[in-house]
Amino acid sequence: MKNENLYNYILGIADNSLILGQRLGELCGHGPNLETDIACTNISLDLFGQVRSYFQYAGKIAGDGRSEDDISMLRKEHEYKNVLLVEQPNTNFAYTIARQFLFDAYHLAFLRELQKSPDLTLSAIANKCVKEVSYHERFSSDWVRRLGDGTDESREKIQEAINDLWMYTDELFHQTEADKAMVAEGIGVDVTTLKEGYYAYVKEVLEEATLEVPESKYFQKGGKHGVHTEHLGYILAELQYMQRTYPNMEW
């Protein structure tokens, strides 16, 4: 492959949206009320739309005839490069919102930087995506505040979710070899520079929600290098079923 680093860099971005979109899709018809149910479904659709743009570009770079569907749905588990955070299950509504907020805060900051990339395709995708993700972040942060400053039960549940998911946040700022190569070429975003601002903003929202900022210094990683939790296998089993059961099918 002519530019393997760029290809892998794109996968690292797109797989986060792919897996999180699939997770949110599981909630269709199961939201706490109709408005929130539709909002979560629309966020899922936004993420899948972003994924299409990324994988179309990845297919062009690969140059081996693979389509966006092939790249998104026919890889093996260890070939997916998403962070562990986005594959965590929808334990309850608080976990769904906490996971979404912890990712959205990062995703929005990342896209704002990716807009500046000299790679015109990546910057164009970022320009489109940043408008959608601005809404995603506003939606999830508002719900964190509502749950945290709501009833005793809602506050307890969102605090538990934040505490449990906190261990997956540090991986957002780890760099793979592809990341480093793209940063060196001036194409990619140096995610290490986003870390301080991310935690400052997350802390601000949590404090507004009357929630405690977790003090745990124990973090898990591995997803960016293809080492995932047991949850990803179940996600892929559902995501890939049609493509693997009926190879080369056409609509």
Q: How far apart are CA 239 and CA 139, in angstroms?
A: 26
Task: Place 97 in a pLDDT band, splitting at 50, 70 and 90.
Answer: very high
Task: Place 251 in a pLDDT band, splitting at 50, 70 and 90.
Answer: low
Q: Residue 215 above 80 pLDDT? A: yes
Position 74 in a domain: yes
Position 155 in a domain: yes
Average pLDDT over residues 49-55: 95
Average pLDDT over residues 153-172: 97
% of the chain at pLDDT higher than 90: 77
The total number of structural domains that make up the chain: 1
Q: Which domain holds residue 56?
A: 4-245
Position 250 in a domain: no
Position 214 in a domain: yes
What's the pTM? 0.93
Q: How far apart are CA 24 and CA 71, in angstroms?
A: 21
Position 251 in a domain: no
Task: Place 178 in a pLDDT band, splitting at 50, 70 and 90.
Answer: very high
Position 52 in a domain: yes
**Torsion angle (degrees, nearest 10) of CA 91, 93, 98, 103:** 90
Position 163 in a domain: yes
CATH code, domain carrying 101: 1.20.1260.10
Position 47 in a domain: yes
